[in-house]
């Protein structure tokens, strides 16, 4: 078949360049990327007409899209590429939808185009509050060899996630160990890494990409594509950097040409807040009932009392300090008549790391 020309009816839609005339042998294909750059707010459509000497000499591709002033949802990732998947098996990848607006966004339904793609993970309709997210799992189950394209359509905000994958004959199998990476307790804004291993069985396996669900988990030392020979293993590190206190979870999945699709590796870790304290002590004074402790963030600033009741001891632990600040302390004594002495000088300086 020889493609002699093509034309786009709406200038908001453009195609990647094709050198014409283009001849395709039986079973051969060519990719054409279509881009949408809306010139105005609102829905618009068009058509791309391909002319060839095929039995259907005029092939019309309908295109449509909606111009908006801002994206209702951010997508991570914005394109799902499954790489090569063996016929009879399947591969599942997550896509996270985040409400990027400052008001609620309603998602009425989802739909996949392309018979080899399906989506799950949420019940529709649903509403996302500002900053809220939902994770959908998209599965590619090839029925024949060759490249396949499709889309995940989210009705409501009207967003589209392009899907692509290639069906192949059976190859090697991929094993991931351990099944779960548990990072335990990790202080906020610090990083802990844990190793993981991928092993190819039967024959070699090529890894095309990796995806982590959860921005606080990062795969380190990985460069794709990479091939693991039969019976060999490849190790990577996964880093966890908690940004908030509490339990954080995610997943790590790989796209490959393996005949199996190993389950996504579970990632979990707990962000903790490091507790700091400053302990001070002083010499005892005669004839006093107790002591008061005063604190300031400046040596020449205003000192405020921090003990709620009179301290009968000659030591005090301040557990209300935070990391990265310097504090200054002074003490006073109080006699049995309730008369308080002046503050001790000079002030004691303490810097919290």
pLDDT tens figures, 181-236: 999 999 888 899 999 999 988 777 888 889 887 789 999 988 888 989 888 999 99
Q: In terms of domains, do 130 and 223 share one?
A: no
pLDDT at 54 over 80: yes
Q: Are residues 134 and 160 in the same domain?
A: yes
Residues 217 and 207 grouped into a single domain: yes
Judge if 164 and 177 occupy the same domain.
no
Mean pLDDT to the nearest integer, 159-185: 87
Q: Does the pLDDT value for residue 70 go beyond 80?
A: no
**What pLDDT was estimated at residue 307?**
95
- Residue 177 CB: number of other CB atoms within 10 A? 13
Residues 6+ apart with CB under 8 A from 101: 70, 72, 130
Burial of 279 (0-12, 13-18, 19+ CB in 10 A): exposed
Q: List the domain range (segments joined by +) for residue 87.
A: 71-169
pTM given for the model: 0.44
Q: How would you classify the pairing of strands 265-272 and 180-187?
A: parallel
pLDDT at position 49 over 90 = yes
Please tell me the distance from the alpha carbon of residue 261 to that of residue 100, in angstroms, as a whole number: 32
pLDDT at 88 over 80: no
Instruction: Say which range, 78-92, 128-142, 217-231, has the weakest mean pLDDT.
Output: 78-92
Closest C-alpha to 207, from 217, 196, 218, 198: 198
Q: What gap in Å lies between CA 323 and CA 72, rounded to an integer?
A: 38
Q: Identify the pLDDT of residue 202.
A: 74
Number of independent structural domains in the chain: 4
- 330 token code pair: 């002074």
Q: Which of 118, 135, 169 is the last residue of a domain?
A: 169
Among 108, 141, 169, the domain boundary falls at: 169
Are 60 and 105 part of one and the same domain?
A: no
Q: Are 100 and 68 in contact (CB under 8 A)?
A: no
Domain edge (last residue) among 129, 151, 169: 169
Q: What is the mean pLDDT of residues 156-170?
A: 84
Any residues with CB less than 8 A from the CB of 48 and at least 6 apart, and which? 6, 7, 8, 9, 13, 15, 34, 60, 61, 63
Predicted local distance difference test score (pLDDT) of residue 143: 86
Confidence grade of residue 171 (pLDDT, cut at 50, 70, 90): low
Whether the predicted pLDDT of 274 surpasses 80: yes
- Does the pLDDT of residue 36 top 80, yes or no? yes
Antiparallel, parallel or unpaired: β 326-335 and 348-351: antiparallel
User: At which residue do the structure tokens 């999945």 appear?
Assistant: 253
- Please tell me whether residue 312 adopts helix, strand or coil conformation: coil
Cis ω on the peptide bond leading into residue 77 (within 30° of 0)?
yes
Q: At residue 117, does pLDDT exceed 90?
A: yes
Domain CATH for 148? 2.60.40.10
Give the span between the Cα atoms of 259 and 90, in whole angstroms.
Answer: 9
Q: What is the pLDDT of residue 2?
A: 95
170-179, 182-191, 337-346: segment of lowest average pLDDT: 170-179
Residues 79 and 57 in one domain: no
Using an 8 Å Cβ cutoff, are 239 and 181 in contact? no
Residue 84 CB coordination number (10 Å): 21
Q: How confident is the model at residue 170, as a pLDDT?
A: 62
Question: Domain check: are 76 and 130 in the same one?
Answer: yes
Question: Tell me: the pLDDT tens digits for 245-264?
Answer: 889 988 999 988 787 778 88
Q: What residues contact 67, with CB distance under 8 A and at least 6 apart?
A: 12, 38, 39, 40, 41, 42, 43, 44
Of all residues in the chain, the percent with pLDDT exceeding 90 is 57
325 and 345 belong to one structural domain: yes
Do 117 and 164 lie in one domain? The reply is yes
Is residue 121 located within the same domain as residue 144?
yes
Average pLDDT of the chain? 90
Query: Which of these ranges, 116-125, 221-230, 324-333, has the smallest mean pLDDT?
Result: 221-230
Report pLDDT for 260.
79
């Amino acid at each position: 078949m020889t493609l002699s020309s093509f034309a786009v009816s709406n200038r908001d839609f453009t195609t990647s360049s094709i050198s014409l005339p283009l001849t395709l042998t039986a079973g051969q294909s060519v990719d054409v990327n279509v881009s949408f750059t809306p010139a105005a707010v609102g829905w618009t459509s068009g058509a791309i007409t391909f002319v060839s000497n095929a039995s259907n000499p005029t092939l019309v591709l309908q295109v449509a899209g909606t111009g908006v002033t801002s994206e209702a949802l951010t997508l991570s990732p914005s394109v799902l590429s499954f790489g090569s998947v063996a016929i009879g098996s399947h591969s599942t990848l997550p896509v996270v939808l985040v409400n990027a607006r400052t008001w609620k966004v309603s998602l009425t339904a989802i739909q996949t185009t392309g018979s080899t793609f399906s989506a799950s993970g949420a019940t529709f309709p649903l509403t996302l509050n500002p900053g809220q997210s939902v994770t959908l799992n998209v599965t590619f189950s090839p029925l024949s060899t060759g490249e396949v394209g499709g889309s995940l359509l989210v009705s409501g905000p009207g967003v589209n996630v392009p899907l692509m994958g290639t069906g192949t004959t059976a190859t090697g199998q991929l094993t991931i160990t351990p099944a779960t990476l548990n990072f335990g307790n990790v202080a906020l804004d610090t990083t802990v890494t844990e190793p993981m291993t991928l092993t190819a069985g039967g024959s070699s396996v090529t890894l095309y990409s990796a995806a982590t669900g959860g921005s606080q988990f990062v795969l380190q030392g990985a460069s794709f594509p990479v091939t693991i020979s039969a019976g060999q293993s490849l190790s990577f590190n996964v880093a966890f950097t908690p940004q908030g206190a509490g339990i954080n979870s995610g997943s790590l999945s790989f796209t490959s040409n393996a005949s199996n699709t190993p389950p996504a590796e579970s990632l979990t870790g707990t962000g903790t807040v490091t507790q700091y304290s400053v302990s001070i002590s002083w010499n005892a004074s005669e004839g006093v009932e107790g002591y008061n402790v005063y604190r300031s963030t400046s040596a020449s600033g205003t000192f405020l009392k921090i003990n709620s009741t009179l301290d009968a001891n000659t030591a005090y632990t301040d557990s209300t300090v935070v990391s990265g600040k310097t504090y200054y302390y002074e003490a006073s004594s109080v006699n049995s008549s309730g008369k308080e002495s002046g503050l001790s000088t000079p002030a004691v300086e303490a810097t919290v790391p």
